[in-house]
């Protein structure tokens, strides 16, 4: 197995020839040149992420880069590299497989390129990201997260509904709300009303039943070491948010209060409800409080009510998200755990905690 840092250094050898534009070589030949490291510093970074190996994506993405009118520059491995040069994870290793393809040039329609890249990601069955190289890519300072189906593997309100015997009714409303078919505040009121009479004891027992999303702990450990502030902005409930605050060391938690009186859930909703607009406003508020520019923020979520904060943040990531959210967010991750987000920040495996 090759040390990825040494492999990347070899790719940086600039003595191998003059700059080569994509129009001069076919994709396979160009990849050989890229692996050798010719070309100037790129202004765009294409990130390829897969659970096992990104090799199958290198050729198609190189073609995509060239077809987009950019000049291919180089490949950098952010994960394990095999002895034959393949960027592929060993069976017994942790993490995933990731490579960056750097390119130089101007994009006439960045939004259209992103949409086409999302289609290519689905065809290749891997996660693909595109971003300009800038001072913010590795130097963001605030990361905010949705909670349900983002930081945890489930929807708290759906699990509460099962305990109350109204699981099917609540799940149907939840699914419609996440697809954007029902306004969130209305859907939230409907669902909470169905929970009336649920004993508090059963609510508390739920804390140990919904597991963390894969990679969440490693992501938060690494972000903390990098100096990030973190926040949960959730349309779920404060009792579960406080649980995650303790486990993950979250700096700020905003969610809805599940009103309980005389030992049972009342079914009533206390204002203000944390909906999409409220999440966006909280992102602005927390960033100002922490002295962080919006360009230095990351927002991660899966539902339609996350879109306002995903659009507002410097990096908005649709994580294991519904199609409408994936289509509108600038980044989409569906095939790896939350810690895969570190690759989009340019953080290699060996820098993870």
Output the 3-class SS for 202-253: HHHHHHHCCCECCCHHHHHHHHHHCCCEEEEEEEEEHHHHHHHHHHHCCCEE
Read off the pLDDT of residues 199-238 as tens digits, 9 standing for 90 and up: 999 999 999 899 999 999 999 999 999 999 999 999 999 9
pLDDT tens sequence across 43-93: 999 999 999 999 999 999 999 999 999 999 999 999 999 999 999 998 777
Spot the catalytic one: 127, 148, 158, 339: 148
Inter-residue contact 126 to 335 (CB < 8 Å): yes
Q: Which domains does the chain have, with CATH numbers?
A: 4-132 (3.30.70.260), 142-351 (3.40.50.1000)
Question: Is 146 an annotated catalytic residue?
Answer: yes
The least confident of 13-17, 110-114, 201-205 is: 13-17
Regarding beta strands 97-104 and 127-132, do their DSSP bridges make them parallel or antiparallel, or are they unpaired? unpaired
> Residue 270 — pLDDT band, cuts 50, 70, 90?
confident
Q: Is the pLDDT of residue 33 over 70?
A: no
Active site residue 148: yes
Question: What is the share, in percent, of the chain residues with pLDDT greater than 90?
Answer: 76
Q: Is the dihedral of CA 282, 284, 290, 296 positive or negative?
A: positive
Q: Which of 50, 63, 127, 146 is catalytic?
A: 146
Reported pTM: 0.86
Share of residues in the chain with pLDDT > 70 (%): 88
């Amino acid at each position: 197995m090759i040390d990825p840092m040494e492999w990347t250094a070899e790719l940086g050898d600039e003595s191998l020839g003059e700059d080569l534009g994509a129009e001069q070589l076919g994709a396979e030949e160009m990849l050989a040149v890229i692996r050798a490291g010719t070309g100037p510093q790129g202004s765009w970074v294409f990130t390829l992420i897969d659970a096992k190996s990104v090799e199958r994506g290198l050729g198609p993405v190189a073609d995509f880069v060239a077809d987009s009118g950019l000049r291919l520059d180089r490949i950098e491995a952010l994960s394990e590299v095999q002895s034959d040069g393949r960027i592929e994870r060993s069976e017994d290793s942790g993490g995933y497989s990731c490579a960056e393809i750097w390119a130089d040039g101007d994009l006439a329609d960045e939004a259209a390129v992103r949409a086409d890249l999302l289609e290519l990601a689905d065809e290749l069955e891997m996660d693909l990201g595109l971003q300009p190289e800038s001072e913010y890519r590795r130097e963001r300072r605030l990361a905010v997260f949705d909670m349900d189906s983002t930081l945890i593997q489930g929807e708290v309100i759906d699990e509460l509904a099962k305990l109350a015997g109204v699981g099917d009714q609540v799940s149907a409303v939840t699914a419609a709300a996440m697809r954007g078919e029902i306004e969130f505040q209305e859907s939230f009121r409907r669902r909470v009303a169905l929970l009336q009479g649920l004993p508090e004891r059963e609510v508390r027992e739920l804390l140990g039943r919904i597991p963390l999303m894969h990679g969440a702990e490693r992501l938060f450990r690494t972000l903390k070491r990098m100096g990030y502030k973190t926040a949960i902005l959730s349309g779920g409930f404060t009792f579960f948010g406080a649980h995650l605050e303790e486990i993950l060391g979250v700096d700020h938690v905003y969610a809805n209060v599940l009103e309980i009186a005389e030992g049972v859930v009342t079914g009533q909703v206390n204002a203000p409800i944390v909906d999409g607009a409220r999440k966006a406003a909280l992102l602005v508020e927390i960033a100002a409080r922490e002295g962080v520019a919006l360009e230095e923020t990351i927002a991660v979520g899966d539902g339609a009510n996350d879109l306002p904060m995903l659009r507002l943040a410097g990096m908005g990531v649709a994580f294991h998200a519904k199609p409408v959210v994936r289509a509108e967010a600038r980044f989409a991750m569906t095939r790896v755990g939350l810690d895969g987000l570190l690759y989009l920040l340019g953080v290699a495996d060996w820098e993870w905690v």
